[in-house]
């Protein structure tokens, strides 16, 4: 049972840690000092070191996620500015600086400007994302380059382009890539290329140098101008370890200008190999198809029907005779049905014929070729013709006896 008014060591350390963590000054602090006892843990990737001045020292920890952002590992004795937070490691009861950024003394202000502008442009959506990055054309006809017209950079790029894909035309727009006029010159060069409609892609960059030398490619007008490119654009600034804001605004980042040239065009030797391989695959496919068709044809030629065509013809004759017999039978049946129906129609018409009536002893009378149907059509002295089943007779009307309706 614990004594009243007495706290455990862990509780005390937790309390002190809470005080540190609530202090706004300690949660975002920049400390300048000299690196000592620097060690990087091989398994975890965390960095452990101290920074000191002539009077004191403080232990520091830089976790792997932050250490991965370092362009180079710091050296013992190097003057640096550490940015991070101070907190307590409760297991040992010691306080230490948890470093988020480590900057060499002398470039700290530029680096802070870099980080501030990077955050601003990222929030505005200026930087390319996986969804908005455009692929470079496979075989560009014309490539625009904005860089210094003198020096090894342009020579190296032109050499690589000619070696890999000499079919591409290169349009160089000279620009100053360092100094006070650098940003304006780069923007003007890009604007000149944007105004053309025959450019398939653009490379903008320069060779290596210090942070100050590369600063033009961290300036806001240049970064925004790169982001507005109407065609895919490659940022090729400095060396592999140099990362500028222009890299984030471009569609593709190249570690060096020479690497940008390699990314811009295909290797003609590789293209020729691909063409040769495709041709070989097509020839193989055609040969395979021909072999299959030859096998089918050989099967037909070796079959019994082609070896004995008389048997094939006999089979066709037999089938034809069967079809002819079926057709003849069907035709005869149709004729019989038609004959029967014709006879039935004749019988019906014969039964309705006036000649049948006359044959039973009746006759009919005509006056001047018109059938007489009533005594009202007659007058005494009219010449009449009487028709019988076996002939006709002429007579004259001597009297007319009309029936009268019974009252």
Residue 3: per-residue pLDDT: 61
pLDDT for the residue numbered 130? 94
Output the pLDDT for position 281. Answer: 95
pLDDT computed for residue 407 by the predictor = 44
User: Is 1 exposed, middle or buried, given 0-12, 13-18 or 19+ CB atoms closer than 10 A?
Assistant: exposed
Residue 100 and residue 84 in contact, taking contact as beta carbons nearer than 8 Å: yes
Determine the pLDDT at residue 305.
59
pLDDT value, residue 96: 95
Q: Give every CB contact of residue 220 below 8 A, 6+ residues apart in sequence.
A: 117, 121
CATH 3.40.50.2020: does it fit domain 9-105? no
Q: How far apart are CA 144 and CA 133, in angstroms?
A: 18
- Would you state the pLDDT for residue 205? 95
- Quote the pLDDT of residue 316: 81
Q: How far apart are CA 126 and CA 173, in angstroms?
A: 24
Q: What is the pLDDT of residue 1?
A: 39
pLDDT at position 298: 84
Backbone phi, then psi, for 12, in 5-degree steps?
-65, -45
User: What pLDDT is attached to residue 104?
Assistant: 81
DSSP characters for 149-205? SSSHHHHHHHHHHHHH-TTSEEEEEE---SSTTHHHHHHHHHHHHHT-SS--EEEEE
Please give the pLDDT value at position 306: 63
Superfamily assignment of 139-266 in CATH? Hypothetical protein af1403; domain 2 (3.40.50.10550)
What pTM does this model have? 0.53
Low-confidence ranges of the chain (pLDDT < 50): 1, 406-407
């Amino acid at each position: 049972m614990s004594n009243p008014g007495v706290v455990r060591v862990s509780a005390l350390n937790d309390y002190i840690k809470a005080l540190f963590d609530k202090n706004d000054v300690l949660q975002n602090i920049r400390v300048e000092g000299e690196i000592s006892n620097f060690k990087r843990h091989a398994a975890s990737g965390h960095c452990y070191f101290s920074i000191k001045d002539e009077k004191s020292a403080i232990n520091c920890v830089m976790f792997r996620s932050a250490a991965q952002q370092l362009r180079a590992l710091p050296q013992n004795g190097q003057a640096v500015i550490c940015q991070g937070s101070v907190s307590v490691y409760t297991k040992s009861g010691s306080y230490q600086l948890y470093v988020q950024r480590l900057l060499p003394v002398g470039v700290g202000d530029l680096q802070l400007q870099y980080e501030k502008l990077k955050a601003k442009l990222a929030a505005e959506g200026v930087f390319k994302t996986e969804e908005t990055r455009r692929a470079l054309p496979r075989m560009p006809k014309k490539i625009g380059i904005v860089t210094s017209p003198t020096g090894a950079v342009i020579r190296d790029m032109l050499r690589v382009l000619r070696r890999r894909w000499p079919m591409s035309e290169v349009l160089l727009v000279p620009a100053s890539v360092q100094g006070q006029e650098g940003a304006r010159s780069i923007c003007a060069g890009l604007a000149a290329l944007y105004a053309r409609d025959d450019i398939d892609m653009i490379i903008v960059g320069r060779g290596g140098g210090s942070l100050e030398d590369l600063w033009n490619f961290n300036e806001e007008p240049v970064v925004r101008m790169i982001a507005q490119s109407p065609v895919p654009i490659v940022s090729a600034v400095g060396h592999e370890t140099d990362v500028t804001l222009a890299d984030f605004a471009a569609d593709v980042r190249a570690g060096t200008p020479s690497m940008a040239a390699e990314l811009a065009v295909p290797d003609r030797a590789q293209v020729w190999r691909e063409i040769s391989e495709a041709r070989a695959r097509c020839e193989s496919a055609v040969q395979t198809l021909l072999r299959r068709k030859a096998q089918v044809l050989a099967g037909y030629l070796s079959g019994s029907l082609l070896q004995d065509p008389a048997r094939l013809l006999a089979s066709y004759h037999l089938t034809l005779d069967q079809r002819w017999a079926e057709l003849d039978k069907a035709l005869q049946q149709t004729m019989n049905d038609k004959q029967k129906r014709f006879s039935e129609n004749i019988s019906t018409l014969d039964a309705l014929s006036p000649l049948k009536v006359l044959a039973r002893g009746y006759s009919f009378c005509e006056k001047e070729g018109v059938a007489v149907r009533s005594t009202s059509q007659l007058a005494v002295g009219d010449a009449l013709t009487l028709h019988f089943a076996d002939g006709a007779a002429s007579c004259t009307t001597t009297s007319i006896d009309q029936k009268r309706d019974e009252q």
